[in-house]
Amino acid sequence: MELLFCCNCISEKSIFVQMLKQERVLIIGKVWPEPNSSAAGKRMMQLISFFQLKKIEVIFVSAAKTTDFQVDLKQLDIEFQQVQLNDDSFDAYVKSKAPDIVVFDRFLSEEQFGWRIDECAPNAIKILNTEDLHFLRGAREEALRKGEKIDVTKIRTDLFQRELLSIYRSDLTLLVSQFEKNLLTNHYLLPEELLYYLPVFEKKQKEIQTFEDRKDFMFIGNFYHAPNWDALKVLKSEIWPRIKKSIPEAKLHIYGAYPGQRVFDMNNVKEGFIVHGRVENAIEVTEKAKVSLVPLRFGAGIKGKLLEAMGAGTPSVTTEIGVEGMLFDNMWNGKFTNDFELFSAFAIELYQDENKWTIAQENGFEILSKYFSESDFSLSFEMKIQDLLKNRDTFRQKNIVGSLMKHHTVQSSKYLSKWIMEKNKEHKD
């Protein structure tokens, strides 16, 4: 597995490397990292790689069950520990490790463990890695279910409140989408100094298959993720029948982690709708396809499958949700529309027209080079963390709302956790 944040991006004589040579980061994961299963897993490994290249000791903990597909952290020289929710043993563990930086992977981890970090490692800077804005994805899913339009600037759900409180309680929040950063600052008026735009990185593959060497269509996605399951149903019922009618010899290959029986039940060789399930290397199957189909109707963040398609030189057809946070100067690696009849027509056109296919491919390479290159973000991210470490108290004094949140709202999570601990003790007795 190739990790980004390559050593060539930043000089080994960096001030940051010298200053943090013996520093320690504790990463609290909602799940164990699976870079071959999702963009979230890939993002986490990029963050881990960044810290390791800065000579910072990495410790990864999670309360989740281990899986057969998680990355081998021991092989990467990363200390790891399965921890317990609502248990004081975590406090003792944190005190023994004395981290300088704590990263929460998703706001749910900050809710569960943030107050413990405040008590056991108060001097550690707290970084929230959002993956995507859960409240935005959730509100869009609910609107789709109800058949309603949604104004993303007026979301006021419980999830919205919880996620924003988590952002305020953190010293820095990482966002993979510039759209989401703008949404938080321009419409929800969050202080810009609390937010940092750091996308998932991708680059062009060294060897690119030609138009003639490719065939068929593809879709890939982790099927634990609701937007992917919804997109698959749209492909099966609305899009693929139109494409198959126009290109009878074509097949649509479905790949992805955690498919479950409901996904495999869609397999139909006669219809050319082929469900493969999990693959070890997403790039290998993506670079064999002629066109990637991604009809997302809801979601948030940026889409790893579309970045990988660009890196593999595979044009894509997607929706406005698909291109969100990834569309610059209206240039795309193919076509996008919310009209699924037009979506199908675009897919057929790209599949059959080599000239339009090649232009789309080149657009994808340009997007990656200009907007998703590690070298464009590594140094600034390095300096941001350096500034936080050196001026932690000054940053926190400015974050008055965050201070109030720690004092008041976090108490509910804290005392609920303590209540659960007491009930667990009673049960053991």
According to the model, what pLDDT value does residue 400 have? Answer: 84
Which of 18-32, 86-100, 255-269 comes out lowest in average pLDDT? 18-32
Query: In this predicted structure, which of 5-9, 238-242, 369-373, 382-386 has the lowest mean pLDDT?
Result: 5-9
Is residue 65 predicted with pLDDT exceeding 80?
yes
Confidence band of 425 (pLDDT split at 50, 70, 90): low
8 A C-beta contact, residue 39 and residue 304: yes
- 409, with CB counted inside 10 A (0-12, 13-18, 19+), is middle
Q: Which residue has the higher pLDDT, 399 or 7?
A: 399
- 306: pLDDT strictly greater than 90: yes
Instruction: Report the pLDDT averaged over residues 155-159.
Output: 95
- Determine how many CB atoms are found less than 10 A away from the CB of residue 299: 23
**Cβ atoms of 90 and 114 closer than 8 Å:** no
pLDDT, tens only, 377-396: 999 999 999 999 999 999 99
pLDDT (0 to 100) of residue 428: 59
Q: What is the pLDDT of residue 404?
A: 76
- Count Cβ atoms below 10 Å from residue 171 Cβ, excluding itself: 21
| Average of per-residue pLDDT across 203-218 | 96
pLDDT in the model for residue 16? 47
- 3-class SS letters over the chain: CCCCCCHHHCCCCCHHHHHCCCCEEEEEECCCCCCCCCHHHHHHHHHHHHHHHCCCEEEEEECCCCCCCCCCCCCCCCEEEECCCCCCHHHHHHHHHCCCEEEEECHHHHHHHHHHHHHHCCCCEEEEECCCCHHHHHHHHHHHHHCCCCCHHHCCCHHHHHHHHHHHHCCEEEECCHHHHHHHHHHCCCCHHHEEECCCCCCCCCCCCCCCCCCCEEEECCCCCHHHHHHHHHHHHHHHHHHHHHCCCCCEEEECCCCHHHHHCCCECCCCEEEEECCCCHHHHHCCCCEEEECCCCCCCCCHHHHHHHHCCCCEEECHHHHCCCCECCECCEEECCCHHHHHHHHHHHHHCHHHHHHHHHHHHHHHHHHCCHHHCHHHHHHHHHHHHHCHHHHHHHCHHHHHHHHCCHHHHHHHHHHHHHHHHHHHC
Q: Which of 201-215, 371-385, 404-418 has the lowest mean pLDDT?
A: 404-418
Q: Evaluate if residue 112 carries a pLDDT over 70.
A: yes
**Mean pLDDT, to the nearest integer, of 154-158?**
95
- Strand order in 273-277's β-sheet? 273-277, 252-255, 217-220, 291-294, 316-318, 334-336
Q: Judge whether 294 and 307 are in contact, CB under 8 Å.
A: no
pLDDT for the residue 135 = 97
CA–CA separation, 141 vs 333, rounded Å? 26
Q: Residue 119 — pLDDT band, cuts 50, 70, 90?
A: very high
Q: 129: Cβ–Cβ under 8 A, 6 or more apart, which residues?
A: 43, 44, 47, 103, 104, 105, 106, 173, 174
Contact 259, 281 (CB under 8 A): no
pLDDT at 405: 73
Is residue 327 left, alpha or beta, with left meaning phi > 0 and alpha meaning psi from -120 to 50? beta
pLDDT class of 13 with cuts at 50, 70, 90? very low
- Is 90 exceeded by the pLDDT of residue 90? yes
| pLDDT value at residue 403 | 77
Does the pLDDT of residue 8 top 50, yes or no? no
**Quick one: pLDDT at residue 12?**
43
- Going by their DSSP bridges, the two strands 125-129 and 101-105 should be labelled as parallel
pLDDT over 80 (residue 49): yes
pLDDT over threshold 90, residue 22? no
Structure tokens at 80: 């790891």
What is the average pLDDT score of the chain? 91
Alpha-carbon span 177 to 192, nearest angstrom: 14
Cβ-contact 237, 271 below 8 angstroms = no
pLDDT tens per residue, range 314-355: 999 999 999 999 999 999 999 999 999 999 999 999 999 999
Mean pLDDT of 405-413: 60
- The CB-side HSE value for 280 (13 A sphere, CA atoms) comes to 2
How much is the pLDDT for 419?
55
The pair of structure tokens assigned to 270 is 């006669």
Could you tell me the domains of the chain? 15-201+375-428 (3.40.50.2000), 217-372 (3.40.50.2000)
pLDDT at 429: 55
